[in-house]
């Protein structure tokens, strides 16, 4: 089969060259695209009873893509947002192929005609201050492992960092122990290669200084009991374990992103400007941060009180305002 018709070479160029060199997309985006085709190709291979390495570009039909998307939702239990994310990767690949080979323009049109499914935004889940403090009290700080777990939880709450930002944090990213009145800072490497600096509380600075003592600048800040850098799954398990020991959180699913939401919500409730919260969390658009304006009924009640209509006072008719009429006639 000619190389221009085989799916493999196109996919290799798309994943290794196009999204990395030409578009400079984030590494996590590349992994998401890779995972999409790791699921899609075996699915189509099974449908056509054809080896994966023999699949052609035109085997990726719109009908098969729709079947794959239905498979994600019905059999794998994925949400509409996950479905749309997988579809976005497939459409990006179709656009790439059509831009290089005009013979595939019609095929690309059929793929790109598949519409994303409308998904309803989930309500923001977050913890009250007492619940967050109860989680922070779970690790046994009398042990080295407990102190490490406490440092990680406190850092997530202080900075609102994404789990990937916390696991990738290096000792050299911390500016602590200045002792000259300056702010202690952590440099977080977020989505799209963007870096932001987040101030640290004195308590966070104290536990982190103890945690990184004697380590090199390239070492990870947060390490597991085996001395290896924490993985995202390790952080998830830690938070699940701590939440399970808080009676008030029984029956709730607590994730690292819930703690990120908690940081944002507590900042909003403290009266911090929403644009400052956006910079704190590393959002590109303020519209992403605006979801936190819906978090608390007290904020809504306060807004209603500011806009409440009082008793209207009887005013004079404009005809009775002799000074005004005299002024107008003088012009």
Query: Active-site residue numbers?
Result: 162, 191, 257, 260, 283, 292
Give me 296's structure tokens: 């608390």
CA atoms 23, 26, 27, 29: torsion sign: negative
Q: Measure the CA–CA gap between 154 and 148, rounded to whole angstroms.
A: 10
Task: Of 161, 322, 291, 153, give the one whose Cα is nearest residue 234.
Answer: 153
Task: Of 225, 248, 22, 236, give the one whose Cα is nearest residue 140.
Answer: 225
Kindly state the helix (H) or strand (E) to which residue 187 belongs, with its residue range. strand 185-189
CA atoms 253, 255, 257, 261: torsion sign: positive
Q: Which residues pair with 189 in a beta bridge?
A: 195
Task: Of 93, 67, 78, give the one whose Cα is nearest residue 9.
Answer: 93
């Amino acid at each position: 089969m000619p190389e221009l018709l085989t799916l493999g070479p196109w996919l290799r160029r798309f994943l290794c060259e196009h999204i990395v060199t030409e578009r400079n997309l984030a590494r996590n985006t590349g992994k998401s695209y890779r995972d999409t085709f790791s699921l899609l190709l075996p699915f189509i291979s099974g449908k056509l009873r054809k080896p994966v390495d023999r699949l052609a570009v035109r085997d990726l039909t719109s009908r098969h893509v729709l079947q794959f998307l239905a498979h994600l939702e019905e059999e794998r239990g994925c949400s509409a947002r996950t479905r749309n994310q997988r579809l976005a990767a497939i459409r990006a690949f179709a656009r790439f192929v059509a831009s290089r080979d005009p013979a595939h323009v019609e095929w690309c049109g059929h793929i790109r005609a598949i519409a994303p499914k409308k998904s309803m935004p989930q309500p923001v889940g977050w913890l009250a201050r007492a619940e967050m403090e109860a989680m922070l009290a779970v690790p046994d700080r009398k042990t080295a492992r407990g102190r490490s777990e406490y440092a990680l939880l406190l850092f997530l709450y202080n900075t609102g960092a994404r789990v990937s930002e916390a696991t990738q944090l290096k000792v050299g990213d911390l500016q602590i122990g200045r002792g000259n009145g300056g702010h202690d800072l952590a440099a977080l490497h977020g989505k799209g290669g963007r870096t932001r600096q987040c101030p640290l509380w004195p308590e966070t600075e104290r536990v982190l200084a103890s945690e990184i003592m004697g380590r090199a600048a390239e070492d990870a800040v947060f390490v597991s009991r085996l001395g290896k850098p924490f993985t995202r799954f390790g952080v998830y398990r830690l938070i699940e374990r701590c939440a399970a020991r808080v009676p008030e959180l029984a029956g709730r699913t607590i994730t690292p992103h819930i703690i990120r939401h908690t940081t944002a919500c507590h900042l909003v409730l403290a009266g911090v400007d929403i644009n400052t919260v956006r910079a704190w969390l590393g959002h590109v658009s303020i519209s992403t941060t605006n979801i936190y304006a819906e978090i608390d009924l007290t904020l809504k009640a306060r807004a209603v009180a500011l806009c409440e209509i009082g008793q209207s006072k009887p005013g004079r008719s404009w005809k009775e305002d002799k000074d005004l009429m005299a002024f107008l006639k003088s012009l």
